[in-house]
Amino acid sequence: MAKHFLLLNLIAVVSFCFVVLAFEPSPLQDFCVADPASPVKVNGLACKDPKSVNAEDFYFSGLHLAGNTSNTFGSKVTAVNVAQVPGLNTLGISLARVDYAPWGINPPHTHPRATEILTVLEGSLQVGFVTSNPENRLITKVLNKGDVFVFPIGLVHYQRNVGYGNAVAIAALSSQNPGIISIANAVFGSEPAIETDILAKAFQIDESIAALIQSKF
């Protein structure tokens, strides 16, 4: 009986370890500055020689600058992840500045590798995320300056500026490379394209309408 109990505990510990390791592992040294030029293929990016590391590897300038929101959605995301700051490699964190024109949106999307915590710096934002199947419940709230909201990892979420002036937010994400899947682009703008009859059945629309939406992407 005692051996059986011990075995169950061991299985639980191992299972927990696998769950933890499914996300970004803790660093095993002070830093592992990314070396994009390295031919070594790893889950993430290979480390550059620590002796060649300098302050620029941990530095980014420009988040004080407003992004250009003159586009279809009226928003602009300025990302600061491992691609911009190589020193973020293996540290499991990144951030972004998001600018919104009046009534601009950051359209529905997911981050497959990160939870996001959003802080409103200026303006008012309607934010929301949708829970997974089968409930698909929309959880939404209007945020004002200084308010904070969390989007759980992998869930579809969005923001919309509900004010008549510009809005600004800062988002922190729990991955050096959170990834982004824009729902409309992924479904209607994939390469090669998803067959229109599949989209028509999935969205319960006519094939001609599915084709029309695809043409916009």
| 4 annotated to a ligand binding site | no
| 64 annotated to a ligand binding site | no
- Rounded Cα gap, residues 68 and 197, in angstroms: 37
Identify which of 116, 121, 127, 103 has the alpha carbon closest to the alpha carbon of residue 179. 116
| 122 annotated to a ligand binding site | no
- Rounded Cα gap, residues 94 and 12, in angstroms: 31
Tokens 């990144």 locate to 94
Find the farthest-apart pair of alpha carbons in the chain and give their distance in angstroms, rounded: 68
| 111 annotated to a ligand binding site | yes
159, 117 Cβ separation under 8 angstroms: no
Binding residues for oxalate are 106, 111, 116
Binding residues are 106, 109, 111, 116, 157
Binding residues for Mn(2+) are 109, 111, 116, 157
